[in-house]
Chain A
Amino acid sequence: MDATEPPVMELRGVSKTFGEVRALSDVDFHVRRGEIVGLLGDNGSGKSTMVKMMMGYHRPDPGGEVWFEGERVQGWSVAKARALGIETVYQERALADLQSVWRNMFMGREPVNRFGLLDIRRMRREAAALMKGHMGFTSGAVHPDNVVQTMSGGEKQGVAITRALFFEARLVVLDEPTMGLSLSETQKTLDFVRSIKEAGRSAVFIDHNVYHVYPVVDRLVLLDRGRIAGEFTPAGITLEQLTDRLRTVARTGRLEG
C-alpha cells in the first residue's frame, strides 16, 4: 500500500437519490492497491447502493465523481466498470439459474473467435478447470454443462466468486458473500478474500457480520443512513470496541453515545 499512489477507486462527493429517498449523501470513499476495505452498516445504511454505485449499476447524482486509478471516469456503467477491472460478487449472486455453469461464468463477456462466433470449447474447458481448481468440485457429476439451478447455495456462491476472480480483476467487490453459507463454505470465502490481497489486488468486503469482516480487512468504513459515520483500522480498535460502536451508531446515528 503506497499512500502517494492514487487509489484504485475513489468516490468523491457521491450522493444518490431515489425519488424522495436519499440513499447516499455526499460520500467520499476510496480503496488503495492491495487494500481490503470492510464496509459495515445496518440494513438501510446505504451499503447496497454503495455496491451498485461502485460497479456501475447506479450513477452518482450530478456533482458526484467516480475516479479510477487517478482518472475521472465519465459515463459510469456496468460495462465500463467491468472493462476497467471491477468485478462484483453479489448478495443475490446474479446468476441465471436455467443456464449452464459455463454460460454463467462468462456472462456478459463471452469470448469469441476471429469470426465473431462464441468460443464454446474454450468456455467449457476453462469452466471445467476453474471448477476443479478453485471451486473444489471433484465429483464427475459436476459438469460445466450442468445448469446452476441444480447446485447448492455454496456451489452457486462458488460460481459467483470464481466468475469475479477469473478475469483480471483490479478491484473485487463482495456484497454479503457469506450469506446463507455453511461454516466451511464461509471459511473458504474468507480465504478467498485473503488471497485477493496476496495477489496484490484490492477488495471491498461488505457484510453485516463484524466477526467475518474484522479479521480480514485493512480498514473499516462504517456507513449509517447514507453517510460515512467513521473509519477504523483493526489495529486501532478491538472487536469488542467495534461492536460497541456499531450498536451506538445504529441507535443514535452518532459514533459517541
Chain B
Amino acid sequence: MAKTGIPPREEVAAEAVPRITPRLFLRRHALTTGTIGIAVVMWTIFIVAAPDVFLNSRIYSAFGITTPLWGMMALALTFVVITREMDLSFVSVMALGMVGFVRVHEFTGSVLLAILACLLVGLACGLFNGFLVAVLGIPSLVITLGTMFFFRGIELALLDGTGVPLTDDAFGTLRDVLNGKTAGIPNEFVWMVIIGVLLWVVLNRTRYGAHLFVVGDNVDSARLMGIRVTRVKMTAFGTLGVVAAFSGMVASMQSSYLWPTLGDGSLLLPIAAVFLGGTSVFGGIGTIFGTFLGALMVGSIQAGVISAGISGFYTQLFFGLIIIVSLVMQTLISRRMRS
C-alpha cells in the first residue's frame, strides 16, 4: 500500500478535507445541473402543451419500453467517448449477437447457451473494434464505420437476408425477464437502470474507471504513469459490444422476431444522448448519470412530440433545438469553469 515517502512523513492522514460549500458543489457539478435544468424545462413545456398526455402514466410506460432499446448502449458508449474514441458499429453488433443466439439455439436447444453466445459475439465484436483502434492505432470514427458495414454484412449473409421468428415456447422465461414488468415498471427500463448503476460503479469507484478518465484526458501522461492504455480502450469497446448484444436480445424478444435490419436507425440516438449528458467529445469528461438523463430527454422528445399531437416531422426540429441549446450551455459552462 501507498506510504508517505520522503520528505517528512508526520502530518499526513490527520488533515481533514476542506468542506465543499454549496456554491462550490454547484460549480463543480454545473454541467449536470445544467442538463437537469434543460430536462425539467423541456418536460414542463410538454406538460403545458399536452397535459392529458404527459400527466397520464401511459406515455411513461410506452417510453420505458422503447428508450432502453438504445439507451443501454448510450450508457456503455459513454465509456468509449470518455477515452476520446467513438463507435458507430454497435447498431450492427445488436443484430450480429442475435445471429449467434438463434444459431446456437438451433444447434443445442439451450436458451442459456444461446444467451451466452449472443453476449460472447458482442464481446468479440467490441474487442475487434478495440484491437483496430488501440493496437493498430486507426482512428475509431473511421474504422468503426467500416466494422459497422462489416458486422451488418456478416449478419445479413448468415441470415440470408430474412428474419427469424422467436416464438418458441422455450423463450417464455427469457421474455418474462427481459420484457415483463416489475412493480408495474417495464423490465426493459429496469435493465437500463441496472446497467446504469453497474457502469456508474465501474466508472466512479474502480481503478479501471479512473484510468478511463486519464486515458481520455491525456494519453501520454497515462502511458508515462504506467497505465495500460491499450487494455483500457479495448475493455471500453468490449463493454459496449456486450451491452449492444444484450440490447439486441431485449429488442428481439420484445418483438418476438429477429429482424435482419435490427438496430438500423438507432445509431444517432445513443450518440445524441451521450453528448446531451455532458460527456466531452475531447475525452476525459463524462458521467453515466448525464447520459442517463440525456437518453431520457431524447426518448421523451421522440415519444412526446408525437403523443402531444404535434406533427411527427417536428421531432427533428425539437431534437436539433435541444442538442444545440445543450451544447452551447456546456461550452459556456466549461469556459467559465476554466477561468
Interface residues of A (CB under 8 A from B): 55-57, 77-79, 81-82, 88, 90, 92-99, 103, 106-112, 116-118, 120, 124-126, 128-130, 132-134, 140, 143-145, 147, 149-150, 165-169, 172, 192, 195-196, 198-199, 201
B7 adjacent to A134 (CB under 8 Å): yes
B5 adjacent to A99 (CB under 8 Å): no
A198 adjacent to B7 (CB under 8 Å): yes
Asked if B284 lies at the interface with its beta carbon under 8 angstroms from chain A, I say: yes
Asked if B58 lies at the interface with its beta carbon under 8 angstroms from chain A, I say: no
Please, how many angstroms separate the alpha-carbon atoms of A78 and B220 in the complex? 13
Given A98-B217, A165-B5, output 17 extra A-B contacts at Cβ < 8 Å: A77-B226, A88-B224, A92-B220, A94-B225, A96-B214, A96-B218, A98-B213, A99-B214, A99-B217, A103-B210, A103-B213, A118-B205, A118-B207, A126-B15, A129-B11, A144-B17, A198-B7
B223 adjacent to A57 (CB under 8 Å): yes
Q: How far is the CB of B16 from chain A (nearest CB, A)?
A: 7
Q: How far is the CB of B21 from chain A (nearest CB, A)?
A: 9
Given A166-B2, A167-B5, verify A143-B223 contact (CB < 8 Å).
no
B218 adjacent to A129 (CB under 8 Å): no
A129 adjacent to B12 (CB under 8 Å): yes
B224 adjacent to A78 (CB under 8 Å): yes
Chain B residues, CB < 8 A from A192: 7
Interface residues of B (CB under 8 A from A): 1-8, 11-18, 20, 24, 28, 201, 204-207, 209-211, 213-214, 217-218, 220-228, 280, 284-285, 337-338
B5, B214, B226: the one contacting A169 at CB < 8 Å is: B5
Q: How far is the CB of A145 from chain B (nearest CB, A)?
A: 7
Please, how many angstroms separate the alpha-carbon atoms of A97 and B284 in the complex? 9
Q: Which residue of A lies closest to B210 (CB)?
A: A110
Please, how many angstroms separate the alpha-carbon atoms of A192 and B222 in the complex? 25
Please, how many angstroms separate the alpha-carbon atoms of A24 and B205 in the complex? 42
A82, A128, A132: the one contacting B226 at CB < 8 Å is: A82
A-B contact pairs, 18 of them (CB 8 A): A57-B224, A82-B226, A96-B218, A97-B218, A97-B284, A98-B217, A107-B221, A107-B227, A108-B222, A120-B205, A130-B12, A140-B18, A143-B24, A144-B18, A149-B338, A150-B338, A165-B6, A166-B5
Q: Which residue of A lies closest to B12 (CB)?
A: A129
Q: Which residue of A lies closest to B225 (CB)?
A: A108
Please, how many angstroms separate the alpha-carbon atoms of A117 and B260 in the complex? 41
Please, how many angstroms separate the alpha-carbon atoms of A198 and B9 in the complex? 13
Q: Which residue of A lies closest to B211 (CB)?
A: A108
Please, how many angstroms separate the alpha-carbon atoms of A47 and B89 in the complex? 44
Q: How far is the CB of A164 from chain B (nearest CB, A)?
A: 8
Chain A residues, CB < 8 A from B227: 107-108
B1, B6, B13: the one contacting A195 at CB < 8 Å is: B6
A128 adjacent to B15 (CB under 8 Å): yes
Chain A residues, CB < 8 A from B205: 117-118, 120
B5, B14, B24, B222: the one contacting A96 at CB < 8 Å is: B222
Given A57-B224, A78-B225, A118-B207, verify A126-B7 contact (CB < 8 Å).
no
Please, how many angstroms separate the alpha-carbon atoms of A2 and B203 in the complex? 48
Chain B residues, CB < 8 A from A79: 226, 228
Chain A residues, CB < 8 A from B220: 92, 94
A96 adjacent to B221 (CB under 8 Å): yes
Chain A residues, CB < 8 A from B24: 143
A57, A126, A201: the one contacting B13 at CB < 8 Å is: A126
Q: How far is the CB of A48 from chain B (nearest CB, A)?
A: 12
Chain A residues, CB < 8 A from B8: 133-134
Please, how many angstroms separate the alpha-carbon atoms of A167 and B141 in the complex? 39
Chain A residues, CB < 8 A from B4: 126, 166
B214 adjacent to A117 (CB under 8 Å): no
Given A107-B227, A118-B205, A198-B7, verify A129-B217 contact (CB < 8 Å).
no
Chain B residues, CB < 8 A from A140: 18
Given A88-B224, A96-B218, verify A168-B12 contact (CB < 8 Å).
no
Residue among A88, A133, A144, A167 with the most chain B CB within 10 A?
A133
Q: How far is the CB of B83 from chain A (nearest CB, A)?
A: 12
Q: How far is the CB of A51 from chain B (nearest CB, A)?
A: 10
Given A108-B227, A125-B16, A145-B28, verify A167-B3 contact (CB < 8 Å).
yes
Q: How far is the CB of A208 from chain B (nearest CB, A)?
A: 20
Chain B residues, CB < 8 A from A169: 5-6
Q: How far is the CB of B232 from chain A (nearest CB, A)?
A: 11
Q: Which residue of A lies closest to B215 (CB)?
A: A96
Q: Which residue of A lies closest to B9 (CB)?
A: A199
Chain B residues, CB < 8 A from A116: 206
B2 adjacent to A167 (CB under 8 Å): yes
Q: How far is the CB of B203 from chain A (nearest CB, A)?
A: 10
Please, how many angstroms separate the alpha-carbon atoms of A57 and B211 in the complex? 18
Chain A residues, CB < 8 A from B17: 124-125, 128, 143-144
B218 adjacent to A133 (CB under 8 Å): no
Q: How far is the CB of B211 from chain A (nearest CB, A)?
A: 8
Q: Which residue of A lies closest to B205 (CB)?
A: A117
Chain A residues, CB < 8 A from B223: 57, 78
Chain A residues, CB < 8 A from B337: 147, 150
Please, how many angstroms separate the alpha-carbon atoms of A108 and B221 in the complex? 10
Please, how many angstroms separate the alpha-carbon atoms of A120 and B2 in the complex? 14
Chain B residues, CB < 8 A from A132: 11, 15
Chain A residues, CB < 8 A from B284: 96-99
